Structure 1
Amino acid sequence: MSQPYVPPQAPPTGQPSGVKDLFNGVGYLLRGIAWMARHPAQWLFGLIPALIVLAVYVTGLVFLAFQIDDLAGWVTGFADDWSEGARTWARVFAGTAIYGSALFLAVLTFTAVTLLVGDPFYEAIAVRVEESQGGAPPEPDVPLLVQIGRAIKDTALLGVIALTFAVAFFVCGFLPVVGQTVVPVVAALVSGYFLAGELTSVALERRGIRRTERFARLRANRPLAIGFGVATFLVFIVPLGAVLAMPGAVAGATLLARERLADPPRAKEALVTPGDGGSAWNG
Structure 2
Amino acid sequence: MRYPGLRRFVLLPLLVNLVIFGGGTWWGFSGLESYLDQALPGWLSWAQFILLPLFTITALIMMFYTFTLVANLIASPFNSLLAEKIERRLAGEIPSPASSVLQVAKEAAGAVGSEVRKLLYMAGWAIPLMILFLIPGLNLLAPLLWGLFGAWMLAFTYLDYPMGNHGLTFRDEKLRLRQHRGLAMGFGSAMLVMTFIPVLNFFAMPAGVAGATLLWVERIKSTG
TM-score range, shorter chain: 0.7 to 0.9
Could you say what the CA RMSD is over the residues aligned between the two structures, in angstroms? 3.4
Aligned to 2:53: 96
For structure 2, the 5+ residue unaligned runs are none
Moved over 6 A (4+): 136-141
Q: Whole-Å Cα distance in 2 between the matches of residues 38 and 172 of structure 1?
A: 51
Q: Please list the CA deviations of residues 151-189 of structure 1 after superposition, one character each: whole Å capped at 9, or x if unmatched.
A: 223224324423433443x468957xx94xx76555433
Partner-residue secondary structure (3-state), 1:217: helix
Q: Whole-Å Cα distance in 1 between the matches of residues 60 and 181 of structure 2?
A: 24
- Give yes or no for contact 1:105–1:163 (8 Å, CA) kept in 2: no
* Highest RCO, 1 vs 2 (Cα 8 Å, sep ≥ 6): 1
Q: Using a 3 Å threshold, how does the CA distance of structure 1 residues 210 and 163 change in structure 2: closer, same or farther?
A: same
Q: Compare the two structures and name the one with the higher helix fraction.
A: 2
Instruction: Kindly state the Cα deviation for residue 253 of structure 1 after the two structures are TM-superposed.
Output: 0.3
- Give yes or no for contact 2:151–2:188 (8 Å, CA) kept in 1: yes
- Give yes or no for contact 1:97–1:173 (8 Å, CA) kept in 2: no
Report sequence identity in percent.
25
Question: Which amino acid is the alignment partner of residue 125 of structure 1?
Answer: L
- Give yes or no for contact 1:196–1:225 (8 Å, CA) kept in 2: yes
- 2:208 aligned residue (232, 249, 257): 249
Instruction: Kindly state the Cα deviation for residue 98 of structure 1 after the two structures are TM-superposed.
Output: 3.6
TM-score normalized by structure 2?
0.76
For structure 1, the 5+ residue unaligned runs are 1-36, 80-86, 266-283
Partner-residue secondary structure (3-state), 1:262: helix
Partner-residue secondary structure (3-state), 1:209: coil
Aligned to 1:123: 80
Q: How many residues align?
A: 214
Instruction: Kindly state the Cα deviation for residue 235 of structure 1 after the two structures are TM-superposed.
Output: 1.7
Rg larger for: 1
Q: Please list the CA deviations of residues 211-251 of structure 1 after superposition, one character each: whole Å capped at 9, or x if unmatched.
A: 22112101111111112111121222222332223211110
Q: Whole-Å Cα distance in 1 between the matches of residues 53 and 107 of structure 2?
A: 45
- Give yes or no for contact 1:140–1:208 (8 Å, CA) kept in 2: no
TM-score normalized by structure 1?
0.62
Aligned to 1:155: 119
- 1:53 aligned residue (16, 20, 23): 20
Instruction: Kindly state the Cα deviation for residue 95 of structure 1 after the two structures are TM-superposed.
Output: 3.8
Q: Whole-Å Cα distance in 2 between the matches of residues 173 and 240 of structure 1?
A: 36
